[in-house]
Amino acid sequence: MESIVHQPCPICHSNEGLNLIVNISEIPYFGEHTEMTIVCNSCGWKNTDFIPAEGKKPSAWSIIVSSADDLATRVVRSSSCTVRLVELGLEVEPGDNATGYVSNVEGVFKRFEDAIGIIYRSALSEGEKGKKDVEACEELIGKINSIKNGNSSVELLLLDPMGHSQILHQKAKSWDLKKEDIANLSLGPQIPVFDSSDLDDSFKMAT
């Protein structure tokens, strides 16, 4: 389903309307979910989010990644989700441009590696001044590689105040977030079209 939403673009503030594309589909073990993509034709800004039909309580998901097999574990990350690699002290908070994705543990690692790579290259270009950062990045990449090879382990933790994210594995644990936990979390982009009344209408139209 495709429609125009009459909201200004949060990035370029164009009033031409945003293009909203809604797909309802099944992800194995995750169940029915709605994939919403919103596109601004003026500046090209794009945001995708995944919203499950059920289970929308503020929640945490955790898995200890300890073998190469665990890398294939499916991960659904919504745009309101904070992602942590606990023992490595790494965290991605949902910023204003956060986007949802369906991936696996290896894909989540890849996103961290890419982010470390950017810092690494910039530190390298600084020569002596960037030496400490270069070493820190090399150490982190080494640790991630050791986890990927099954030689060490890390806890992958998802914290989602909207309850849209999941780790799809028997080993994964889930629990409700408390109010005080939520107070410390970023909520990600606050786009009016993503509120629940709009979503319910889309469901009705599509079914």
- Which long-range CB contacts under 8 A does 25-33 form with residues at least 24 apart? 27/74, 27/76, 27/102, 28/74, 28/168, 29/74, 29/168, 30/74, 30/76, 30/102, 30/166, 30/168, 33/76
Is 11 among the residues that bind Zn ion (CB under 5 A)?
Answer: yes
Is 193 among the residues that bind Zn ion (CB under 5 A)?
Answer: no
**What is the closest distance, in whole angstroms, from the C-beta atom of residue 81 to Zn ion in the complex?**
24
**What is the closest distance, in whole angstroms, from the C-beta atom of residue 2 to Zn ion in the complex?**
17
Contact status, residue 183 vs residue 190, Cβ threshold 8 Å = no
Residue whose CB is less far from Zn ion, 12 or 72 = 12
Order of strands across the sheet with 74-77? 101-104, 74-77, 166-168
Contact string (CB under 5 A) for Zn ion, positions 48-87, x = contact: ----------------------------------------
Q: Which residues lie across from 24 on neighbouring strands?
A: 34
How many residues at the interface with Zn ion, by CB under 5 A?
8
DSSP assigned state of 16: S
Residue whose CB is less far from Zn ion, 31 or 95 = 95
The kind and range of the H/E element at 20 are strand 18-27
Is 99 among the residues that bind Zn ion (CB under 5 A)?
Answer: no
Is 12 among the residues that bind Zn ion (CB under 5 A)?
Answer: yes
**What is the closest distance, in whole angstroms, from the C-beta atom of residue 36 to Zn ion in the complex?**
17
Query: Using CB under 5 A, which residues numbered 130 to 149 contact Zn ion?
Result: none
Selected binder of Zn ion within 22, 40, 105, 191 (CB under 5 A): 40
DSSP SS3 for 35: strand
Selected binder of Zn ion within 7, 42, 48, 66 (CB under 5 A): 42
Contact status, residue 92 vs residue 165, Cβ threshold 8 Å = no
Residue whose CB is less far from Zn ion, 14 or 103 = 14
Nearest to 163 by CA among 37, 73, 61: 61
Residue whose CB is less far from Zn ion, 13 or 178 = 13
- CA 77 centroid distance within chain: 4
DSSP SS3 for 4: strand
Selected binder of Zn ion within 30, 45, 101, 203 (CB under 5 A): 45
Is 9 among the residues that bind Zn ion (CB under 5 A)?
Answer: yes
Tell me which residues touch Zn ion (CB under 5 A).
9, 11-12, 14, 40, 42-43, 45
